[in-house]
Amino acid sequence: MSNRQFCSSSNAGSKQRASSLEPGAVSVSSASRSIQSQSNDIQSQVSASPPYSNTGGKSLDEAKLAFIDWLAFTINPPSTVEPLAWINAQLQEVFNLPGTWIETGKGWNGYRHRINLQDFGLLAYGGKSQLDSYHVEINGHGCALVADWEKVRQWGESHGARITRSDFAHDDHEGKTVSIQQAIDWYEEGGFVTSGRPPKRQLIDDFDSGDGKTLYIGARENGKLCRVYEKGRQLGDKLSAWVRVELELRNKSRVIPWDVVINPGHYLAGAYPCLQFLSVIQQRIRTIQKAVNMSYAKMVAWAKKAAGKVISTMLEVNQGDAGAVLSQLVRPGRPRRLQHFEDFDIHVLILGAT
């Protein structure tokens, strides 16, 4: 194996505009009354408290409820560029991945060549049947490096990239709303039924050894597989209550829109009736952010009108030293209209992180 370092970036060249795509969330059929009752119970718990975080103040990233844990796509680079150099530059600029690649000397799934993107995924290319396409797989570690998913969405759509796989995950660190037994109950009550017959299921049991159980719903060959597993225990903490719900969605008999990277919660919630509660939580987060931004804007307008001239005079007296002015004005705490959001990282809310 050898390392390949690309240092130069290239222009994007001519861009293709992707056709309009319909969201890929599965329409939700009605489930049993007991599932609806459980969903209502969860919704009432959510409305009574802010979104959960395991530590201290909550950022929107922590409270987001669902996140992208795997992304795979196929793309045909513009004809005006050197393909490998262009893709390397795009993965650095758009996905924040490192530029040093590891050549394996092997192929991958019908492609003649495979390059490892260090520990963050792979790039495959070559072969007549691939029609000059390049395939990228970004794993969970790589997805964690992405700083701006909206930028990813715009890039994917503008270049006509086709998503072949996307994984959405929801973490319940305390195991209060999701557990292996809860998921089994949902299955028994029809909570995973979306089109008549219930999907396949398989339980990998640790027999209470503490290594962690996993429940599989669906089949990978059908392009839709749900995993509910005891994440904390699988990471080594035999007493952990941390449970993860993960949906693996592939482009078999479906088109996966780039909207999934900015709205993973919608697609996870729409996958099965029993996961509808996630969309309720997701909507609450957005309502909180909107309320905070509105309050902040009004607060700034009021402060400018009421004290703007005073602050201007103080800056003159202090020879433009804003720090000296602030030290004379700042009081601890938050205004009454923002006190309800003290459990959140206020700079994240104000800056509009999603």
pLDDT tens-digit profile of 201-245?
999 999 999 999 999 999 998 899 999 999 999 999 999 999 999
DSSP bridge partners of 331: none
162-172: strand order across its sheet: 2-5, 100-103, 113-116, 121-125, 134-138, 67-75, 162-172, 243-250, 224-229, 214-219, 201-204
Q: Is the pLDDT of residue 28 over 90?
A: no
HSE of 328, CA atoms in CB hemisphere, 13 A:
11
Q: Is the pLDDT of residue 22 over 50?
A: no
Look up tokens 């909570």; give the residue: 191
DSSP bridge partners of 135: 74, 124
> Region 63-81: what's the mean pLDDT?
90
Euclidean distance between the first and the last CA atom of the chain, given in angstroms as a whole number? 39
> Region 80-90: what's the mean pLDDT?
96
Q: Is the pLDDT of residue 57 over 60?
A: no
Q: Is the pLDDT of residue 74 over 60?
A: yes
Q: Which residue has the higher pLDDT, 347 or 320?
A: 320
Task: Report the candidate in 234, 229, 225 with the shortest Cα–Cα distance to residue 175.
Answer: 229
Q: Is the pLDDT of residue 3 over 50?
A: yes
Q: What share of the chain is helix, strand, coil (3-state, %, to 5)?
A: 40, 20, 40
pLDDT band of 354, cuts 50, 70, 90: very low
Q: Is the pLDDT of residue 294 over 80?
A: no
Q: Is the pLDDT of residue 17 over 60?
A: no
Asked whether 352 and 289 are in contact (CB, 8 A), the reply is: yes
Q: To the nearest whole number, what is the mean pLDDT of the chain?
A: 78
Predicted pLDDT at 165: 97
Which of 61-65, 268-272, 341-345 is the least confident region? 341-345
Q: What number of other Cβ atoms are within 10 A of residue 215's Cβ?
A: 23
> Region 181-209: what's the mean pLDDT?
93
Predicted pLDDT at 37: 43
Q: What number of other Cβ atoms are within 10 A of residue 206's Cβ?
A: 15
pLDDT band of 288, cuts 50, 70, 90: low
> Region 149-174: what's the mean pLDDT?
95
Segments making up each domain of the chain, as ranges: 2-14+22-284, 291-351
Predicted pLDDT at 281: 57
Predicted pLDDT at 53: 29
Q: Is the pLDDT of residue 62 over 70?
A: no
What is the identity of the amino acid at 88?
A: N
**SS3 category, 168:** strand
What is the identity of the amino acid at 19?
A: S
Q: Quote the CA–CA distance of 61 and 353 in Å, as a whole number.
A: 7
CA 264 to chain centre: 5
Task: Report the candidate in 101, 81, 80 with the shortest Cα–Cα distance to residue 91.
Answer: 101
pLDDT band of 1, cuts 50, 70, 90: low
DSSP string covering 50-66: PPP-SSSSB-HHHH-S-
Q: Which residue has the higher pLDDT, 127 or 20?
A: 127
